[in-house]
Amino acid sequence: MASAAPTIVLVPLCVPGHLPSLFEAGKRLLGTSGGAMSLTVLFMQMTMEANLMSDVADLIRREAGSGLDIRFHHLPAVELPTDSHGTENFIMHFIQLHAPHVKAALSGLASPVAAVVVDYFCTTLFDAIRELALPVYVYVPCSAAILAIILRLPALDEEVAGDLGDMEGAVEVPGMPPVPAALLPTPLLKKGPNYAWTVYHGRRIMEAVGIIVHTVDELEPPVLAAIADGRSPTVYPIGPALSSVKAPREQPHRCVAWLDAQPPASVVLLCFGSMGGSFPAPQVSEIADALERSGHRFLWVLRGPVPAGARSPYPSDANVDELLPEGFLERTKDRGLVWPTWAPQKAIIAHAAVGGFVTHCGWNSVLESMWHGVPLAPWPQHADQHLNAFQLVSVAGVAVAMEVDRKRGNFVEAAELERAVRSLWAASRRRGGRRGRRPPRRRPCSGAPWRRAVRRTWR
């Protein structure tokens, strides 16, 4: 039966780095609304790797049975664009094609719409939503520093004639120390379609009623303050918006079962996000060498190359016998696990046996790690990750520095990785060793300021 309670509509980008945190943020509005609001999620049918699809399917199944008033709406499939070069460019065209479907879905909902929250990749949907006179919020699943750069980009584009990646020196970003140009997010380094899209989003985000950003107040106060001082829409930090990690104890995942048998805070995790983990052979042997020499226990999520001709950028499962140096698995079998496919990262990071994390610095991985008090060694690869690493090491001072050669495909020498892994334990000892890995005491942001804003516009 149709409910008259207003609904908040989420329009996520259906990828692991964007969807779960927006979904979690949306739930925070419901958690305390006492049935006064429902949540409606509009899904675009992205063609994704089977593992990722099953994660999304799990999320829908879990939430459908959660007792919360959440409705899932699958938008009609669109013809995939065939003439878009680059992943971001393809995604932007793909999203743009959904505008009429989003408008039709919003018009057809049985509940009145209190607000629409779109992923920041989806600003091309603004016009369709505003034709219905609905308030639009933007969701940014990254740091406030990345948001500050995106908002700054339209002006920067006019100030700098050439490619930002060729600039000598640093870029001024509100609230940040000077940011070396070489550390800017990948799409901003060279002017091209992906760069142009980011400039476009930077302009259009300004049209939103508010911006919800997946960061934590205490983590980036100067950046949040600087954005608030500008002319941007009100910013609502919502992080960390991490989905729950309740693993079934009767049948734990093999990675979790392996961790159960390791001493507390003894294992270094190496995991590189949804698109990473696949390395050329020389890099694989440097990592193996570093792990052998460090003497630490390890859980290494190693992936195979992206399948030839695949449209999506996701790695395949690794053939570890083929990829790893001869004898490595045998020599390390008592203290290491090499996992060749998608791993339950949230459950792994939350596990007491994990004492350090070599991460690509995807923003979700950063927040997951910080939330559980696991020291980080950043090994950024692309997108926003180099800037995240800079922020963690040089601004916040919460991560161990590691020398990553961006010009050589982000190569890290074995000796450098070994040093960083050892430093993780030194950092952990300084913070109280095993006692340093306490479960979080702080409550995540409840979303109250954003909830109040939605209520105000709704009334």
Residues that bind ligand UDP (CB under 6 A): 16-17, 271, 273-275, 301, 342-346, 362-365, 368
Report the distance separating Cα 279 and Cα 304, nearest Å.
8
Q: Closest distance between ligand UDP and the C-beta of residue 277, in Å? A: 7
Residue closer to ligand UDP (CB basis): 278 or 364: 364
Residue closer to ligand UDP (CB basis): 146 or 226: 146
Other residues' Cβ atoms within 10 Å of the Cβ of residue 172:
11
Contact 360, 335 (CB under 8 A): no
What radius of gyration, in Å, describes the C-alpha atoms of the chain? 22
Residue closer to ligand UDP (CB basis): 18 or 297: 18
Q: What angle do CA 284, 87, 84 make, to 5 degrees?
A: 140
> Does residue 85 carry a catalytic annotation?
no
Report the distance separating Cα 89 and Cα 114, nearest Å.
31
Q: Closest distance between ligand UDP and the C-beta of residue 55, in Å? A: 7
Per annotation, catalytic residue among 55, 119, 157, 384: 119
Contact 384, 142 (CB under 8 A): yes
> Does residue 127 carry a catalytic annotation?
no
Q: Closest distance between ligand UDP and the C-beta of residue 166, in Å? A: 25
Residue closer to ligand UDP (CB basis): 301 or 377: 301
User: Please, what's the b/e burial string for 103-112 (b: 16 or more CB within 10 A of its CB; e: otherwise)?
Assistant: bebbeebebe
Token code pair at residue 139: 């969701």
Q: Closest distance between ligand UDP and the C-beta of residue 190, in Å? A: 20
Q: Closest distance between ligand UDP and the C-beta of residue 130, in Å? A: 29
Q: What is the DSSP string of 238-268?
A: ----PPP----TTS--HHHHHHHTS-TT-EE
What are the residues whose beta carbons fall under 8 Å from the beta carbon of 111, sequence distance 6 or more? 2, 3, 4, 5, 6, 7, 38, 40
Residue closer to ligand UDP (CB basis): 118 or 350: 350
Per annotation, catalytic residue among 18, 360, 372, 386: 18
Q: Which residues are catalytic?
A: 18, 119
